[in-house]
A and B are shown apart, each in its own frame.
Chain A
Amino acid sequence: MALLEHSKYSQGSVLGGVNPDLASERQTASFSVEKLTVWLDGGEEHTQKRRAVVEAIERDPVFSRENQYFQSQNERYEAAVRKAVHLQKKMEEMGWTESGPEFKYIYRAVSGDIAFLLHRIFIRSISVLGSDKQIAKWIPLATQLKLIGSYAQTELGHGTYLQGLETTAVFDITTQEFILNTPKISAMKWWPGDMGRSATHTVVFAQLYISGKCYGVHPFIVQIRSLRDHSLCPGITAGDIGPKMNFEHVDNGYLMLQNVRVPRENMLNKFCEVQPDGTYVRQGSQKINYFTMTTVRISLISDEVIIPLMKACTIAIRYSVVRRQSKLKPGEQEAKILDYQTQQEKLLPQLAAAYAFHFINDYLQELFNRGYREIQQQNFNTLPELHAFSSGFKAMVTQYSTSAVQICLQACGGHGYSSLSGLPSLYTKIIASCIYEGENTILLLQTARFLIKCFRAASAGQPVPPSVTYLAAVKPGKCPAKNKLEFLSPNIYTEAYQHMAARLVSSTAAKLQDLIQSGVKKHDAWNQCTVQLAQAAKAHCHYITVKNFAETVEKLKTEAGIQKIMKHLCDLFALHGIFSNAGVFLHDGYVSGAQMDMITASYLDLLAVIRKDAVPLVDAFDFTDKSLNSALGSYDGQVYQRLYEWAQKSPTNQQMSPAYERYLKPLLHSTQSKL
């Protein structure tokens, strides 16, 4: 059926039909692609909604990304602003609302290439941190884009470590104002999106001082540009921080404040308030704040990480059945590069990971929805677990996916390096996710802190959250599998992962304990164990991901064909992880050397099995050609023709370069007579 649908995907090019090398891959699918798509979306109605949103966006020329690869930073920025403004109208026109079911598909449909994302954070921070009065004043203005906000937290000198921020806000009791200052260069706000050129307002995080006493970091709404002519307000220095690896469309900015005064009412005061006489009052629980941070980490996993990973897999796998190179058998046609074992070993584990992360994302969403319901009833018990989960999985999934996209890029040979493949921009964008919303190493150490605490509690017989009860059951043992087929049993490999994670946590806890008992100070002992702690945290997340994948497959009884291929992918994901981290499984003899050979054999066998369904498995992600924006990854596989067509559009071929007239002509002209 996919074949019949192809016109809907193609880019209106003059190219012929589907490349036969790609078409043949679709004829042998062992399952229904459409049914898998629907299942991934969570039901028929979701698939329909998503496709409707994507179609509406892609049909609108304002949202076109056709020339994106050829645009300068200035052009990218302008296009992003134009799209953001236009989206406002589009949503009205289509009847989409922020709380409606379509909303979550819009970002996917515009491929994130739009301005005012930080404006959204501005709105969210006011909704969460502001009083009802502040919400009533600011939110309507912001939602109608009467003002444009940003969120200024990170400084030149400080990122993840918030307490170290250096911007100051001093309360002036006589005028009832806060005076904001950037006392030194490292205190300059640096990186906030939408702030370099667009924002008129921003939420500034600053150290609050009242009568000489510091009360820690608080948020203040500060106007930075005139609403009339967009010029900078007095005392404000702001601009763009210059080119980055990607995000050319975002005006990440800097901001310097010199005696900027804002009224007392501009401190967001749902939780803390400065009264007119300078009295500082705390009110309510701030714990909900942490919850916001954790939800942001979780929400980025699907939009900023899993979707780019799926796109990269789609591009690399489709290209690998179109590209033929060298011969597998003498006298035959050159082989599709996906038929080489080494190519399968590069790409198929990444495909399995994309599925694994899609399922772990579902799992996390559910965990958070449950947590949210509890928190609304003032029950904060699950907060530490949620915090640990969001930190650990954000780190694990972003790191894994980043290297996966890089592998996809390099698996496409020379053409992968062309921007027209779409892979360089996917890569340079996804790598930023390892840093923003919490640097990965620091996040893993936060998860490790939780695991160590739970391990100690569990060892002492105290209750711990269900996800970590396994830590109490560390015991030496041996993997019971006797041949390579037994390693295709989810129980066997899930147990191996569990054993390995528990061992890493318990041995690190023991090491910490040893150091402290030998007289090393607690913080020094912690620093001396951080390499192991980060490893333990990753192992825990890896284990949960494998376990969740296996459980998801188990529950999937309705569709036999889909269950079968998902089971293969689950096996592949699990065995690839053991194969690539053999040492930690062999270490205490849980897996023997002979068993490791069986695992390797099973793992390599799986590659050949999944190879047959590789293209249908990426087709099921259901990306349109426009959203892939890749000359290598289009649905019809007319790779070479498209590369050639797109290259003609490059400005280097459309515009005169002064290089010839200025530099080459004088050189070349002296020669004519001689030749």
Chain B
Amino acid sequence: MAAPGPWSQDNWHLRPDRNGTCFIHRGRPEPLDLHLGMFLPTLLTQATPEQQDRFFMPAWNLEIIGTYAQTEMGHGTHLRGLETTATYDPATQEFILNSPTVTSIKWWPGGLGKTSNHAIVLAQLYTQGQCKGLHAFIVPIRQLGTHEPLPGITVGDIGPKFGYDEMDNGYLKMDNFRIPRENMLMKYAQVEPDGTYVKPLSDKLTYGTMVFIRSLIVGDSARSLSRACTIAIRYSAVRHQSELKPGEPEPQILDYQTQQYKLFPLLATAYAFHFVGAYIKNTYHRISGDINEGDLSELPELHALTAGLKAFTSWTANAGIEECRMACGGHGYSRCSGIPDIYVTFTPSCTYEGENTVMMLQTARFLVKSYTQVSSGQQVTGMVSYLNDLSRQRIQPQHVAARAVTVRLNDPVSLVEAYKARAARLVEAAAKNLQAELNHRKSKEDAWNRTSVDLVRASEAHCHYVVVKLFTAKLSEISNAAVRAVLTELCLLYALYGISKNTGDFLQAGILTDAQITQVNQHVKELLATIRPNAVALVDSFDFHDVHLGSVLGRYDGNVYENMFEWAKKSPLNKTEVHESFHKHLKPMQAKL
């Protein structure tokens, strides 16, 4: 571990104010991430005072190194399906932990393979012959002193992955492994010595943690995409290639329209996601006060919104990072560009903390519920309040057609309306298709499954609207006129580019006409040229240090080629002048010459 211990400012979540940089990625994964990010916080939130006395200080001092073992080989996002069991034995007052099948082996937890000596294990609790669902248990897994696995524990590393080489993601198999009753985290649910189960008061509280972690992923989407954009845009200003005008020197590749079209919409997206991440975090902090006082009313909407935005931003950033890499041509493919490492570190966020498609469907469930409320005459509030308009439109059928001509393509506020109309239309279409399936004598679950492609589209449109809305809302808060001007251009580009990539939705709903779509495409191209002079300044504003970017192509000083050569000299294949395989394989063949 390169970073210092828990006294570091990075471990902000251990500080009373819980403010500071996030732990999920400090740029690079590390074996202690799960200890700091999950093991300690879980102790804080779910352990009783007695358990905190026993475990917290040793863990704080890194005498106990823990991880959080939830995912199994056979189950990820669908938590109820986890198979690990913890059976209470009142005779010895112990829990007996078992991995009854191959699929129940804990798989993926970071730091589990080699580093940790304890794990918080999620298992199905059985007591008095009944299954009480998932609960968390503190399980010692390695002998203190020798670090050898304890009897009954099989533990190891899951092998190489797409990135995360630094991290010992591990597996854990338990065979009749016994832990004392006091090792179940019992702040909420409890098992009494005789085996009586005491239920927790509310399970909505876990929403809070999920909202929080997903809001961090939104922020991480913004950050990772910003890093990739910084590299690609700086390199595109350094790289010269081919000719634009006959006889003139080779131009910077950033002067080609196709290159601008690849990179500037992503730059705009990086800014947009930055504002979205900040919004969710602020909203969470605002309402977390209410949560502590037991007011959970705003939580369901925030939970639904965050699930969708987690998926929307991580999908977009994931594709965007790859686009940045490809915009760097062959050199983007070299690890020295830094983008391959950004990509492999970021891309699992499409899967962890909730698989993206499943997340989109959670948001869709909320949207359909809101739509149903509106249909039955109730009003809905918050980000979905546009659905209230749908009932009004049914009374005035002219409304849709009238709207087509009123969209002003150079006004972000007007574009927000266009996105709103698209979201409303797709939510309505999905809800109606769902109803049609239900009328077809289909079971509820079947109907939902047969509509899920529509439902995901509706969620995407909703999230897209939220992003455009939040970006637009941010503009009026900027006091510096020049900054506001350039961010307005980026906001317009974000909104218009999004329309040009989804013209089908806007045309089909009659929100925009053919002629307006042609204008949208034209505006996008004009904005590329407008943004071009500020492109490098806009990535410099992200303020990434060279050390943090870890890229030869994206260096602040632009001395790319010299430094690529320096970097390559360090390759392991260059350790010796003549590689050993020459003596083994090549020389015998060539000896006769």
Contacts and interface: CB of A to CB of B under 8 A. Distances in A.
B161 A417 contact: yes
A24 B590 CA distance: 55
A671 interface: yes
B113 to A, nearest CB: 6
B590 A145 contact: yes
Contacts of B590: 145-147, 200, 227
Given A334-B81, A586-B508, A644-B73, A439 B586 contact: no
Interface string B160-188: 11110000100100000000000000000
B58 A640 contact: no
B577 interface: yes
Contact of A342 (B158, B256, B361): B361
Contacts of A196: 571, 573-574
A323 B72 CA distance: 12
Given A431-B333, A441-B258, A672 B578 contact: no
B571 A78 contact: no
A650 interface: yes
B559 to A, nearest CB: 10
A201 to B, nearest CB: 12
Interface stretch (A123-131, A155-163, A202-210, A307-315): A155-163
A328 B163 CA distance: 34
A156 B561 contact: yes
Interface in B505-549: 505-510, 514, 517, 521, 525
A521 B351 CA distance: 49
A341 B445 contact: no
B456 to A, nearest CB: 6
Count chain A CB atoms within 10 A of each CB in B74, B156, B333, B572 and give the residue with the most. B333
Nearest to B505: A582
Interface in A407-427: 409-410, 413-420, 423-424, 427
Interface in A38-83: 69-70, 72-74, 77-78, 81-82
A646 interface: yes
Given A327-B445, A582-B503, A671-B63, A197 B159 contact: no
Contacts of B258: 441, 445, 530-531, 534
B441 interface: no
Contact of B587 (A70, A230, A329, A596): A230
A528 interface: yes
A457 interface: no
B520 to A, nearest CB: 10
Contact of A650 (B77, B157, B573, B585): B157
A417 B347 CA distance: 9
Interface in B61-76: 61-65, 71, 73-76
Interface stretch (B17-25, B38-46, B197-205, B334-342): B334-342
B569 interface: yes
Contacts of A648: 156
A328 B147 contact: no
Contacts of A74: 572-573
B144 A435 contact: no
Contacts of A244: 333-335, 340
Interface in A425-439: 427-428, 431-432, 434-436, 439
B161 A418 contact: yes
Nearest to B108: A414
Interface stretch (A183-191, A258-266, A488-496, A561-569): A183-191
Contacts of A560: none
A12 interface: no
Interface in B246-273: 246, 250, 256-258, 261-262
A641 interface: yes
A340 B503 contact: no
B565 A240 contact: no
B295 to A, nearest CB: 31
Given A82-B581, A241-B568, A588-B514, A643 B144 contact: no
Interface in B295-341: 322, 326, 329-330, 332-336, 340
Contacts of A585: 504
Interface in A152-200: 154, 156-161, 164, 185-186, 188, 190-191, 196-198, 200
B147 A242 contact: no
A659 interface: yes
Contact of B114 (A240, A243, A524, A657): A657
B168 to A, nearest CB: 7
B334 A242 contact: yes
A117 B95 CA distance: 59
B551 to A, nearest CB: 13
B162 A419 contact: yes
A148 B76 contact: no
Contacts of A596: 504, 508
B335 A242 contact: yes
Contacts of B326: 431, 434-435, 440
B157 A647 contact: yes
A669 interface: yes
Contact of B503 (A88, A586, A644): A586
Contacts of A101: none
Nearest to B357: A342
A664 B65 contact: yes
B589 interface: yes
A231 interface: yes
B63 A670 contact: yes
A340 B241 contact: no
Given A342-B456, A671-B64, 14 more contacts: A70-B160, A82-B584, A326-B81, A342-B357, A343-B357, A415-B73, A417-B347, A524-B244, A527-B244, A593-B507, A647-B157, A652-B113, A652-B159, A668-B62
22 contacts: A74-B572, A81-B585, A85-B589, A146-B589, A156-B561, A198-B582, A239-B573, A242-B570, A325-B81, A329-B445, A341-B452, A341-B453, A406-B322, A424-B162, A435-B330, A585-B504, A596-B508, A650-B158, A653-B157, A653-B159, A671-B144, A674-B63
Interface of B: 1, 31, 58, 61-65, 71, 73-78, 81, 102-103, 105, 107-108, 113-115, 117, 144-145, 147, 156-163, 168, 171, 239-242, 244-246, 250, 256-258, 261-262, 322, 326, 329-330, 332-336, 340, 347-348, 350-352, 355-357, 361, 443, 445-446, 449-453, 456, 500, 502-510, 514, 517, 521, 525, 561-562, 564-565, 567-574, 577-582, 584-587, 589-590, 592-593
Interface of A: 69-70, 72-74, 77-78, 81-82, 85, 88, 141, 144-148, 154, 156-161, 164, 185-186, 188, 190-191, 196-198, 200, 227, 229-232, 239-245, 251, 254, 323-330, 334, 339-343, 345-346, 406, 409-410, 413-420, 423-424, 427-428, 431-432, 434-436, 439-441, 445, 521, 523-524, 527-532, 534, 581-589, 593, 596-597, 604, 640-641, 643-644, 646-650, 652-653, 657, 659-660, 663-665, 667-672, 674-675
4 nearest A-B residue pairs (beta carbon) = A582-B504, A583-B503, A671-B63, A240-B573
